[in-house]
Amino acid sequence: MKTIAVFDSGVGGLSVLRALYRHIPEVHWIYAADSAFAPYGERTESEVRARSLQVAQWLQRQHEPDVLVVACNTATAWAIDSLREKLPVLPIVGVEPALKPAALLSRTAHVGVLATSGTLSSPRFAGLLGTVQAQAAAVRFSCQPCPGLADAIERAHDSAIRDLCNTYAQALLARGIAERPLDTVVLGCTHYPFAMRHWQEAFGPHVAILDNAPAIARRTADLLGGVALPDQTDTLNAPEASLYASGDVPMLRQACNRWVPDLNVRSASRLNLP
Ligand code: DGL
């Protein structure tokens, strides 16, 4: 059986894990949350890089995964190059805001991007935006950082999640030019799909909200040498995962019960980093 390790600053990567196990069967899943250090989006570049490397090296040492999925846009933005450099034998998949699919989908040619301050200020994001703009010059991208939101999702603080989604959605909608309102929004942080209901309420039914997780599942299946199956939710045996958290372990377990109830938690342990 293959082993795939998935890593995020906290519970956000569970939105990626959910897509992974629904599309890739027969895998032992390892999920590591660096919750003692979350949120990454409000940390410095060197902090995110150093912690990401520590977690990835720990996962490599302890579990020798077939693939490592960095299920965090912020860690991908700041650390993926050094992870690939320091762990050259380990296939690594990162996550990035789905700008290109959004540009292709938008009929008003106006796309909103919701992400952490860290992701939006990174050179990697600037590079991605530049590449997509070069191919879709007519598309306007409005970017909105969402301080506090990943943390509210981490704490499952419902009223704060709703209020913050509303604030950030209104800020984006206000930037829609009257004759060119935005009709497509990219969720550029893996925590944000867990607030999907609030996003959809805040943006209204005419705005499409994109989450990159199925594309990550396809890329991961590809690296494993297979193809991602159609959504297997109803037919597979319950997928099994071993969980690790550098912060509160019971909180990660609760997050799994809440966000990914079809996942069978085999064990939940402390991730002790130096
Ligand atoms: N889930 C992470 C991301 O995709 C980071 C959230 C945070 O820790 O700030 O960017």
Give distance in angstroms: CA of 104 to centre of ligand 1. Answer: 25
Q: Which one has a higher pLDDT value, 226 or 272? A: 272
Strand pairing partners for 243? 31, 268
Share of the chain above pLDDT 90, in %: 89
Q: Are 160 and 108 in the same domain?
A: yes
pLDDT > 80? residue 177: no
Secondary structure of residue 186 in the 3-state scheme:
strand
Mutate to test the pocket of ligand 1, among 17, 42, 189 (most ligand atoms within 8 A of CB): 189
What are the tens digits of pLDDT across the range 235-258?
557 899 999 999 999 999 999 999
The string of DSSP codes covering 105-169 is H-SSSEEEEEE-HHHHTSHHHHHHHHHHHHH-TT-EEEEEE-TTHHHHHHTT-HHHHHHHHHHHH
| Rounded mean pLDDT, 209-236 | 81
In this prediction, residue 238 carries a pLDDT of 83
Average pLDDT, integer, range 50-78: 97
- Quote the pLDDT of residue 232: 61
For the segment 82-129, what is each residue's pLDDT rounded down to a tens digit? 999 999 999 999 999 999 999 999 999 999 999 999 999 999 999 999
Domain boundary among 180, 211, 242: 211
Is the pLDDT score of 64 beyond 70? yes
Domain count, the chain: 2
Based on the domain organization, do 156 and 236 belong to the same domain? Answer: no
| pLDDT confidence of residue 91 | 96
Closest ligand 1 atom, CA of 95? 4
Residues 6+ apart with CB under 8 A from 264: 238, 239, 240, 241
Q: Are residues 161 and 206 in the same domain?
A: yes
Predicted TM-score (pTM) of this structure: 0.95
Residues 104 and 71 both lie in one domain: no
Q: Which CATH number does the domain housing residue 161 bear?
A: 3.40.50.1860
Residue 72 alpha carbon, nearest atom of ligand 1: 4
195-to-47, 153, 199 alpha-carbon distances in Å: 27, 8, 6
Q: What is d(CA 92, CA 109) in angstroms, rounded to the nearest whole number?
A: 32
Predicted pLDDT at 180: 86
Question: How many CB atoms sit inside 10 A of residue 197's CB?
Answer: 11
Residues 126, 152: one domain?
yes
Mutation test of ligand 1: which of 8, 14, 31, 246 has the most ligand atoms closer than 8 Å to its C-beta? 8
Predicted local distance difference test score (pLDDT) of residue 140: 95
156, pLDDT greater than 80: yes
* 232 within 8 A of 25, measured Cβ to Cβ: yes
Assess whether pLDDT exceeds 90 at residue 230: no
> Are the C-beta atoms of residues 112 and 185 closer than 8 Å to each other?
yes
Please check the confidence at residue 149 and state whether its pLDDT lies above 70: yes
pLDDT band, residue 229 (cuts 50/70/90): low
Q: What is the pLDDT of residue 273?
A: 84
Active-site residue 146, yes or no?
A: no
